[in-house]
Amino acid sequence: MNKEQTNTADWANWTTIISQYLKPSPLRSWWQLINSFVPYFGLLVAMYYSMEVSYWLTLALSIPAAGFLVRIFIIFHDCGHGSFFKTEMANRITGIITGMMVFTPYHRWHYEHQVHHKTVGNLDKRGVGDVMTMTVEEYKDSTPKQQSYYRWYRNPVMLLLIVPFFLFTFLFRLHGTNQTNKMHLQTHLTTLTLILLIVLISYFIGFWTFVLIQVPILLIASIAGVWMFYVQHQFEDVIWERSENWDYKTMAMEGSSYYKLPRILQFFTGNIGFHHIHHLGPKIPNYYLEKCHKENPIFQKEPLTFWKSFSSVRYRLWDETKHKLVSFKEAI
């Protein structure tokens, strides 16, 4: 049997292969909680005391603290997929707690994220849990006002540097799309709990001290998180299709990137750079994604390297005739 025949045979059983990596390890999950929470809270304490020395030192400490907050977000993300612990209750409790830490309402975000997984790369089902992307024809058919708004939205400074902080601090507090009243209530309860926690913490350390510690961390972490989400579905060789040609397996492999990061960044981002594996098997715990990738050649593909990924900022529109993302200059 030649290599092509072997790959075909393997792909016929790809769900069986994926199933071998779905069982969470309680030991590894608890260890990840420990090696994420302990350093994060340790850095928060260090930042508090560093303010007596120099706020520049405080800001320097906010960088690794933001890295651990991103790692905590990955735990939050896995809990929503039911992949971090074996029981639904353990995942929900851990997800709600980590959601508070990353300023994200658990139920709302995961509802939208589940929609994202079911519709990623589908040109007919855009709008929930994704980065708004017009086709070239849609853009040309838009009014000048709509085009101006879209250009503003897709400006890299706005989309990747300014919006992320407000997304986590403000926009997640608003009503989401097509959500039930129960989800709205859960979102409001999350916001109320966050306010109470901020008031409690501020009582002990002062409100402005809290702001000076938490804001830089959240600013850096939110930018990193949105960038990861953006680049995992907006890269040079990505494919998008209309519903009639949309296929789950193909979209997972070719509509999601394998973002190869330096080892330290892979640690902080919880292996989510193996994003094509994650879309193939959303219930794979983050600590098994690399293992699944390495052990199965059919899941291996050309990586998107760290430096090359920055070229993705120029993409603005999907060109249906060329079947690729293009810049405004290329489209007009």
Residue 323 gets the label, from left (phi > 0), alpha (psi -120 to 50) or beta, of left
Q: How far is residue 180's CA from residue 142's CA, in Å, rounded to a whole number?
A: 31
Reported pTM? 0.93
Query: Does any domain span residue 311?
Result: yes
Q: How far is residue 257's CA from residue 196's CA, in Å, rounded to a whole number?
A: 39
Query: Does any domain span residue 324?
Result: no
Range of the domain at 278: 14-131+156-315
Query: Does any domain span residue 301?
Result: yes
pLDDT digits (tens, 9 = 90+) for 207-232: 999 999 999 999 999 999 999 999 99
Query: Does any domain span residue 325?
Result: no
Model confidence at 173: pLDDT above 80: yes
Helices 26-50/55-81 angle, 10° precision: 160
Query: Does any domain span residue 145?
Result: no
pLDDT digits (tens, 9 = 90+) for 47-79: 999 999 999 999 999 999 999 999 999 999 999
Pairing state of beta strands 259-260 and 317-319? unpaired
Model confidence at 98: pLDDT above 90: yes
Query: Does any domain span residue 83?
Result: yes
Structure tokens at 39: 């350093």
Structural domains in the chain (count):
1
Q: How far is residue 92's CA from residue 157's CA, in Å, rounded to a whole number?
A: 35
Q: By the 8 A CB rule, do 250 and 240 touch?
A: no
Q: How far is residue 29's CA from residue 321's CA, in Å, rounded to a whole number?
A: 45
